[in-house]
């Protein structure tokens, strides 16, 4: 009988993508996916370390793996991703039942371990190469990821990522386009470009043949069959006019920009080492609105950074109010090992952080709900993802703006349909499918 594996994914889309590669690679090695962890011979975790909550959630799961391994010592437990990278060999001291550990993106190392006759635990923490050549098993056949770079050269004082994913390495443009073409040929209509700082893409490449992020977007847009392009995450400091302009020009590039704010206070931004201030951030927003007036803007915000005063926080509320985000991820500041901010003076009490977060969420949601009203009465292009999560009689999909839509109609997953929007909340839209999209264009 075939060996079975089970993988649990934490963290960002980069990890979701890595897990798809793990699935593809394991399938090619003859493994089958188990529906439950208890049925698996190979138990894998793809971990995240961005906030303390991510660590602790994972460690709770690891407890179950320990128990299962106790029941059947033949089982293999593997831990990959950013948390593994951040603790390195220490993982084997703290969790002796772990057999193999590997850093983010180092999935081929997992294969190496499984194919070796090694019986002792092994850790692989050197970034060697992109795993672009590995097969993937995509969650949805019509959506694909394209990892354009690895690592990050920023020095944000709160962030563990530069220490887990290392310095920025961009992938060769020719290789990327070939991979995007292969995805399109394999039925992918929507592709998401991934990187820690996507819009600094290409700066580390040798000058001959080097291209920048906007040119990369152009080349992906030119590929037959790719109807939608998204990317995450850009850094506001690198959000230059050429990138914003291509949003207006390229038919496949979606009207959605994720522009992480982190804080609305220039003093806090400085201590975060974000290298932009409130004014420059607002200039970026103004430029987006000028070139792509209807663009959805989403963001990440951290509250309770060390030394954040009530006035600093109010500035964050002001920016949230002024921009009117279509959506935002909001986080409590979480001190991370070996980051500068973890030992800064002025750490705030938990209840202060929580209270601020609640006030921020209130503003974000109210503004997102107000902004969403602009879609009501319009017919939007929706990429169908399947049935609605809350109502089996309805369908669910996403607009180019990245809004989830629940709607009435008949369509297959992977189809583009026109949906007349009838209602809108901060999170989702509701509507009804109209004639085939082609007749609307
Ligand atoms: N504490 C809280 N939030 C953080 N983020 C990154 N590091 C931390 C931290 N130490 C948030 C940022 C980033 C998002 C992915 O996670 O907002 O954009
Ligand atoms: Fe988590 Fe950041 Fe690693 Fe993504 S890159 S898995 S968010 S620590």
- For 30-74, write each residue's pLDDT tens digit: 999 999 999 999 999 999 999 988 888 898 899 999 999 999 999
Q: What is the pLDDT of residue 436?
A: 64
Mutational test site, ligand 2, from 7, 50, 337, max ligand atoms within 8 Å of CB: 50
Q: Are residues 90 and 142 in the same domain?
A: no
Q: 160 CA to middle of ligand 1, Å?
A: 9
Establish if 387 belongs to a structural domain. yes
pLDDT in tens, 72-81: 999 999 999 9
Establish if 74 belongs to a structural domain. yes
Distance (Å, rounded) from C-alpha 187 to C-alpha 199? 26
Q: 299 CA to middle of ligand 2, Å?
A: 16
Cβ of residue 407 lying under 6 Å from some atom of ligand 1: no
Q: Are residues 105 and 183 in the same domain?
A: no
What is the 8-class DSSP label of residue 40? -
Q: Which ligand is nearest to the CA of 303?
A: 1
Establish if 290 belongs to a structural domain. no
Q: Which ligand is nearest to the CA of 80?
A: 2
Distance (Å, rounded) from C-alpha 86 to C-alpha 336? 10
pLDDT band at 324; cut points 50, 70, 90: very high
69: Cα separation from own chain's centroid:
31
- Tokens found for residue 246: 């291509």
Supply the CATH number for residue 418's domain: 2.40.50.140
pTM here? 0.93
Establish if 413 belongs to a structural domain. yes
* Nearest CA, atom 13, ligand 1: 300
pLDDT in tens, 354-413: 999 999 999 999 999 999 999 999 999 999 999 998 899 999 999 999 999 999 999 999
Q: What is the mean pLDDT of the chain?
A: 94
Between helix 173-185 and helix 213-221 the angle, nearest 10°, is: 30
Q: Are residues 25 and 53 in the same domain?
A: yes
Q: Are residues 100 and 158 in the same domain?
A: no
* CA-233 nearest atom, ligand 1: 18
Beta strands 32-33 and 76-81: pairing type? unpaired
pLDDT at 164 over 90: no
Question: What is the b/e burial string over 374-384, where b = at least 16 CB atoms within 10 angstroms of the residue's CB?
Answer: ebeeebbbbbb
Mutational test site, ligand 2, from 164, 194, 331, 334, max ligand atoms within 8 Å of CB: 164
pLDDT in tens, 407-431: 999 999 999 999 999 999 999 999 9
pLDDT band at 328; cut points 50, 70, 90: very high
Establish if 321 belongs to a structural domain. no
Backbone angles phi, psi at 280, to 5 degrees: -65, -35
pLDDT band at 215; cut points 50, 70, 90: very high
Q: 300 CA to middle of ligand 2, Å?
A: 14
Establish if 237 belongs to a structural domain. yes
* Nearest CA, atom 4, ligand 2: 12
pLDDT at 128 over 80: no
Q: 159 CA to middle of ligand 2, Å?
A: 10
Q: 328 CA to middle of ligand 1, Å?
A: 12
Distance (Å, rounded) from C-alpha 289 to C-alpha 293? 4
Supply the CATH number for residue 31's domain: 3.40.50.12160
Establish if 344 belongs to a structural domain. no
The percent of residues above 90 in pLDDT, for the chain, comes to: 83
What average pLDDT does this structure show over 186-205? 96
Q: Are residues 177 and 100 in the same domain?
A: no
174: Cα separation from own chain's centroid:
24
Cβ of residue 334 lying under 6 Å from some atom of ligand 1: yes
Q: Are residues 240 and 145 in the same domain?
A: yes
Q: Are residues 119 and 13 in the same domain?
A: yes
Q: Which of 91, 124, 157 is the last residue of a domain?
A: 124
Q: 129 CA to middle of ligand 1, Å?
A: 26
**Among 121-130, 189-198, 381-390, 427-436, whose mean pLDDT is lowest?**
121-130
Query: What range defines the domain where residue 189 resides?
Result: 138-254
pLDDT at 433 over 90: yes
Q: Are residues 110 and 183 in the same domain?
A: no
Distance (Å, rounded) from C-alpha 35 to C-alpha 185? 29
Backbone angles phi, psi at 278, to 5 degrees: -55, -45
> Is the CA virtual torsion 213, 219, 220, 226 positive or negative?
positive
Q: Which ligand is nearest to the CA of 156?
A: 1
- Tokens found for residue 390: 């809350």
* CA-160 nearest atom, ligand 1: 7
Q: Which ligand is nearest to the CA of 353?
A: 1
pLDDT at 276 over 90: yes
Q: 293 CA to middle of ligand 2, Å?
A: 31
Task: Give residues with Cβ within 8 angstroms of 54, minimum separation 6.
Answer: 10, 11, 47, 48, 83
Q: What is the pLDDT of residue 439?
A: 54
What is the 8-class DSSP label of residue 262? B
Q: Are residues 99 and 145 in the same domain?
A: no
Q: 83 CA to middle of ligand 2, Å?
A: 8
Q: Which of 254, 274, 294 is the last residue of a domain?
A: 254
Q: What is the pLDDT of residue 53?
A: 86
Q: Are residues 194 and 247 in the same domain?
A: yes
**Among 116-120, 196-200, 389-393, whose mean pLDDT is lowest?**
116-120
* Nearest CA, atom 1, ligand 2: 48
Q: Which of 229, 254, 279 is the last residue of a domain?
A: 254
* CA-54 nearest atom, ligand 2: 1
Q: Which ligand is nearest to the CA of 300?
A: 1
pLDDT at 310 over 70: yes
Q: Are residues 158 and 88 in the same domain?
A: no
* CA-13 nearest atom, ligand 2: 4
Supply the CATH number for residue 202's domain: 3.30.750.210
pLDDT at 146 over 90: yes
pLDDT at 437 over 80: no
Cβ of residue 158 lying under 6 Å from some atom of ligand 1: yes
The percent of residues above 70 in pLDDT, for the chain, comes to: 98
Distance (Å, rounded) from C-alpha 16 to C-alpha 232? 13
pLDDT in tens, 262-271: 999 999 999 9
Establish if 152 belongs to a structural domain. yes
Distance (Å, rounded) from C-alpha 429 to C-alpha 424? 4
Q: What is the pLDDT of residue 133?
A: 75
Q: What is the pLDDT of residue 72?
A: 95
Cβ of residue 340 lying under 6 Å from some atom of ligand 1: no
* Nearest CA, atom 9, ligand 1: 334
Backbone angles phi, psi at 179, to 5 degrees: -70, -40
Q: What is the pLDDT of residue 56?
A: 85
Q: Which ligand is nearest to the CA of 342?
A: 1
Q: 11 CA to middle of ligand 2, Å?
A: 5
Cβ of residue 331 lying under 6 Å from some atom of ligand 1: yes
Q: Which ligand is nearest to the CA of 162?
A: 2
Q: Are residues 53 and 14 in the same domain?
A: yes
Task: Tally the domains of the chain.
Answer: 3
């Amino acid at each position: 009988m075939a060996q079975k594996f089970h993988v649990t994914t934490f963290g960002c889309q980069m990890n979701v993508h890595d897990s798809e590669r793990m699935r593809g690679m394991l399938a090619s090695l003859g493994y089958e996916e188990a529906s439950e962890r208890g049925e698996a011979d190979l138990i894998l975790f793809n971990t995240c370390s961005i906030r303390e909550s991510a660590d602790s959630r994972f460690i709770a799961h690891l407890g179950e793996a320990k128990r299962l391994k106790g029941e059947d010592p033949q089982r293999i437990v593997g831990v990959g991703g950013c948390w593994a990278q951040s603790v390195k060999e220490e993982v084997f001291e703290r969790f002796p039942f772990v057999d193999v550990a590997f850093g983010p993106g180092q999935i081929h190392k997992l294969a190496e371990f499984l194919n070796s006759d090694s019986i002792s635990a092994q850790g692989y923490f050197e970034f060697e190469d992109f795993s672009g050549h590995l097969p993937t098993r995509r969650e949805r056949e019509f959506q694909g990821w394209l990892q354009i770079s690895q690592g990050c050269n920023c020095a944000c004082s709160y962030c563990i990522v530069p220490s887990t994913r290392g310095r920025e390495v961009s992938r060769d443009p020719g290789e990327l386009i070939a991979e995007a073409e292969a995805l399109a040929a394999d039925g992918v209509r929507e592709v998401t470009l991934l990187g820690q700082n996507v819009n600094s893409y290409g700066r580390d490449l040798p000058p001959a043949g080097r291209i920048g992020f906007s040119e990369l977007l152009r080349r992906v847009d030119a590929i037959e069959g790719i109807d939608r392009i998204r990317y995450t995450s850009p850094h506001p400091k690198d959000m230059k006019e050429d990138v914003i302009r291509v949003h207006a020009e390229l038919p496949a590039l979606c009207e959605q920009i994720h522009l992480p704010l982190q804080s609305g206070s220039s003093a806090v931004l400085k201590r975060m080492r974000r290298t932009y201030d409130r004014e420059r951030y607002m200039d970026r927003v103004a430029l987006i609105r000028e070139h792509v007036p209807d663009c959805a803007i989403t963001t990440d915000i951290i509250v309770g950074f060390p030394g954040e005063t009530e006035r600093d926080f109010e500035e964050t509320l002001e920016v949230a109010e002024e921009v009117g985000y279509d959506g935002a991820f909001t986080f409590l500041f979480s001190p991370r090992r070996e980051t500068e901010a973890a030992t800064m003076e002025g750490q705030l009490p938990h209840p202060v952080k929580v209270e601020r977060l609640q006030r921020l969420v209130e503003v974000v949601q109210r503004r997102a709900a107000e902004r969403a009203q602009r879609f009501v009465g319009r017919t939007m292009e929706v990429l169908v993802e399947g049935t609605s999560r809350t109502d089996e009689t309805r369908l669910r999909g996403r607009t180019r703006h990245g809004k989830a839509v629940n709607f009435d109609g008949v369509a297959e997953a992977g189809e583009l349909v026109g949906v007349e929007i009838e209602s809108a909340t901060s999170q989702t839209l509701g509507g009804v499918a109209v004639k085939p999209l082609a007749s609307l264009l």
